Amino acid sequence: MKNKFFGNASFTFLLILAALLLYYQFLTQPEINEDVPLPQELHPVVQENKDVLVQKAAEIGIRVLVTDGFRSFEEQNQLYEKGRSKDGQIVTHAKGGESYHNFGLAIDFALLNKQGKALWDTTYDGNGNGKSDWMEVVGIAKELGFTWGGDWNHFKDYPHLEMRFGLTINDLKRGKRPPEDALTASQN
């Protein structure tokens, strides 16, 4: 009887501890540091590598269309509502302030076929070399220091490329920013 009591008490204690930890984590989510200006465009390194990505892909016969880059918090919230309170499919799990797009550190892309139509087909081989154009673009992006959303475990975001510069979303909310000429974009 004594062991059953302590077993139940231990279980109850662990549940309370887990609830407190979750509550604490929720309460300690940083607010946006308003003393540090928010970016209004892509970070210069992201911009430069975006342009290099498009050029390198073109050199091997792949046309890349960058469909999105910097996104304001308001734009992010509108996108977040898709598939929730607005028509369409869910395309993001990030609200305003929770995406690297909001800090100028991410882009989304598509491929253009020979007729100029945007494609999100990860198996398309428009340059006819027997390889997926999508994966060729991802390979170039990774060489340039981008992290690919298709590698994520929780939510696969195949068009998404980002450069974190070793910073988390919480770091960015607290006001940390990568230097304008950062060379360590791919640090996770």
Tell me the per-residue pLDDT of 10-19, one tens digit each, with 9 for 90 and over.
666 666 766 6
* Burial zone of 147 (CB within 10 Å; 0-12 exposed, 13-18 middle, 19+ buried): buried
Please tell me what DSSP assigns to residue 181.
Answer: T
Tell me the per-residue pLDDT of 115-140, one tens digit each, with 9 for 90 and over.
999 999 999 999 999 999 999 999 99
pLDDT at 16: 74
Q: Which residues in the chain land under pLDDT 50?
A: 1, 5
β 118-119/106-112 pair status: antiparallel
pLDDT at 7: 56
Report whether 1 contacts 8 (CB < 8 A): no
pLDDT at 30: 76
Coil, strand or helix: which one is 158? coil
Q: Which domains does the chain have, with CATH numbers?
A: 44-186 (3.30.1380.10)
CA atoms of 182 and 120, how far apart (whole Å): 30
pTM: 0.81
Exposure pattern of 111-145 as b/e (b: 16+ CB <10 Å)?
beeeeeeebeeeeeebeeeeebbbebbbebbeebb
